[in-house]
Structure 1
Amino acid sequence: MSSLVRRLKGRSPAEIIRLIGHNIAYYAREMTPQARARNRQFQAFDETWGTDTFAIRELHTLDVDPAIAAHARRYQASNGTDMPVWFADLDVDFARTVFIDFGCGKGRALLQAARFGFARVIGVEFAPELVAIALRNRDIMQAKGALAAPVDVACMDAAQFVPPVDAPLVCYFYDPFDDAVMAPVANRLSLLTQPVTIIYLEPNCVGQFRRCGGWSESRSAGTLVLRNAAAMAGQA
C-alpha cells in the first residue's frame, strides 16, 4: 500500500485516471502472443551480451525526484528490432548524425543504435540508478567490441536537456513521459534549424509537436516518424 501511495502522491485525479488506463492497456498488451515472443527476444539479448535491459522498473522502486516522477513512465525496454528499417527509410548518414533517446532507462535502445555507427549516441534519463545501469551495459558491450559509436548518458530532467546544434539529430521516444515534460521538449526541438527526425513509439503526446507546427508525419514499420523542414529538405 505504501508503494501505491508513493506512486499516486502529487497526481491530479485526471493523471490518476490516465495512469490506471495506461496500466490496464500495458497488461493487456503483455498477455498477447506477440508480447510474449518479444519478451523472449529481449531476454535473449541480455543472455547474449551479459547486459541488464529486460526487467521492468517501476518508478516507486527508484530514488527519484517525486515532482519529476509524477510525469514519467515506468522503465520498460523498447523494441529496437525495426531500427534497420527506420534508419533505411530515413536514409541516415550515421557518421554525421547524433542519436538521442529521451528517457533511455537502462539503455536498451542506446545499445542497439550504437551498433549503427552514429557520430554519437546520447541517452537522457532522470533516474540515477537507471543511468548507472545504462553505463554499465555500455561498458559491457564496449569491452566486447559490439558498439560502433560512442555512448553517453545525461542524468537530468528531459525538460531541461539542450540537444546539440552542430549535427543532424535522430530523436527516439518510447512514451517516456507525459505532456508536462513533452511540452518543453517539443518546444526546444521545434526551434532547432538542423535536420531533426523523431521516431516515436506509442506517441501519446504527439499533440505537443502538432501544437508547435512545422513537423511532417509519416510511418515506418508502423511507427510514427516526425521530420522538421530541414530533415524534409534532405529527403527531397
Structure 2
Amino acid sequence: MRYLLYFLYVGWHWGLDLAFFIIRHEIRGEKKYGIRTIGTDNLASEVSKEDRKHIAMYEPVNYYTATWLFDHLQPADLSTTLLDVGCGRGRVLAMGAAYGFTTLAGIDLSPRLYKAAIKMRDILRNRYRDIRINVACQDARAYAIPETVGVIFLFNPFDQVIMEKFIAKVEESLLRRPRPLKILYANPQCKQQWLDAGFEETDSFVKMNFLRGSILVKGKS
C-alpha cells in the first residue's frame, strides 16, 4: 500500500512516467538497503508558523538521485563524517553506511522524524561494527557543524532564507578548521547561494526534467 500511495503522490504532482520510474527505484532501493523509508510527512504541525514559509513537506530523496550523488564520492571522502541535513527517517544515513562511512551525523527539525531517525541509527549500529552515528533534533540554523564533516547531503530541505543561514554555519565550521568539503545536493534549488559562497560545481545531472543533482566542492583534497 505504501508504494501505491507514494506512486499516486508522485504521479499527481509530476506525472505518471516519473512515478513509474521513481517507484521502480524505491522498490529496489528499499530491498537493497534493507530499510523502510518511503512516504511523505506533513511538517506543518511540528514547526512554527513563521518557519512553515521556509520548510517543505518531507519526502525522502529518490534512490536514483541519491545513488548518482554517492557514486561521485572518493575514498578520501569516506574517512570523514557524512552530515545529512533533514535526515528524516534515515535513508541517506543507511546509504552512507553502506557506501563505507563509519562516522555519520543527521539533523532534523521534526521530533517525529527524529524518532524515526533514532530507530534507523540503532538498526545501523547493530548492522555495522564500529560505526558512529549521531542524530540530533535541531534547527539547522543553530547547528554547530562538527569539524570532522567532509561531506554534507542536502535534499532541498528548506528555502533560500534558511539556506543562507545554514551556509553561514558551514563557513563558521570551515573557519574553525579549514578543510575540503563536498556537498551532495539533490534538487539543488539554492545552488547559486553555494556558488556565491565560493563553492565550485564539479558535476551535475538532469533526468526526466525533474530529477536533478549537483556536486559542489570547496577546498582541495
TM over 0.5: yes
Q: Tell me, yes or no, if structure 1 residue 134 matches structure 2 residue 117.
A: yes
Question: Greater CA deviation, 199-208 or 147-156?
Answer: 147-156
In 2 relative to 1, CA 190–32 (structure 1 residues): closer, same or farther, beyond 3 Å?
farther
Question: Greater CA deviation, 123-132 or 63-72?
Answer: 63-72
Question: For the Cα contact (< 8 Å) 1:94–1:119, is it kept in 2?
Answer: no
Q: Match of 2:38?
A: 54
Question: Given the two structures, how large is their TM-score scaled by the length of structure 1?
Answer: 0.73
Q: Match of 2:108?
A: 125
In 2 relative to 1, CA 51–147 (structure 1 residues): closer, same or farther, beyond 3 Å?
farther
Q: Tell me, yes or no, if structure 1 residue 93 matches structure 2 residue 79.
A: no
Q: Tell me, yes or no, if structure 1 residue 206 matches structure 2 residue 191.
A: yes
More strand by share: 2
Q: Tell me, yes or no, if structure 1 residue 70 matches structure 2 residue 53.
A: yes
Question: Given the two structures, how large is their TM-score scaled by the length of structure 2?
Answer: 0.78
In 2 relative to 1, CA 140–96 (structure 1 residues): closer, same or farther, beyond 3 Å?
closer
C-alpha deviation, 1:147, in angstroms: 7.6
C-alpha deviation, 1:227, in angstroms: 0.6
Question: For the Cα contact (< 8 Å) 1:175–1:203, is it kept in 2?
Answer: yes
Give secondary structure in 1 for the equivalent of 2:25: helix
What is the alpha-carbon distance in structure 2 between the residues aligned to residue 202 and residue 73 of structure 1? Answer: 13
Question: For the Cα contact (< 8 Å) 1:200–1:225, is it kept in 2?
Answer: yes
Aligned length: 203
Give secondary structure in 2 for the equivalent of 1:172: strand
Q: Tell me, yes or no, if structure 1 residue 218 matches structure 2 residue 202.
A: yes
Q: Match of 1:194?
A: 179
Q: Match of 1:227?
A: 217
Give the AA of the match of 2:201. Answer: E
What is the alpha-carbon distance in structure 2 between the residues aligned to residue 164 and residue 45 of structure 1? Answer: 29
Q: Match of 1:13?
A: none
Q: Tell me, yes or no, if structure 1 residue 182 matches structure 2 residue 163.
A: yes
Task: Give per-residue Cα distances to partners, 1:13-60, cap 9 Å, x unaligned.
Answer: xxxxxxxxxxxx99442x232332322432454467774410111123
Give secondary structure in 2 for the equivalent of 1:135: helix
What is the alpha-carbon distance in structure 1 between the residues aligned to residue 110 and residue 200 of structure 2? Answer: 32
What is the alpha-carbon distance in structure 2 between the residues aligned to residue 221 and residue 91 of structure 1? Answer: 18
In 2 relative to 1, CA 49–101 (structure 1 residues): closer, same or farther, beyond 3 Å?
closer
- State the structure with more CA Rg: 1
- The one of 138, 153, 156 equivalent to 2:138 is 156
Give secondary structure in 2 for the equivalent of 1:151: strand
Unaligned 5+ residue runs, structure 1? 1-24
Unaligned 5+ residue runs, structure 2? 1-9, 207-212
Question: Greater CA deviation, 179-188 or 145-154?
Answer: 145-154
Give the AA of the match of 1:135. Answer: I
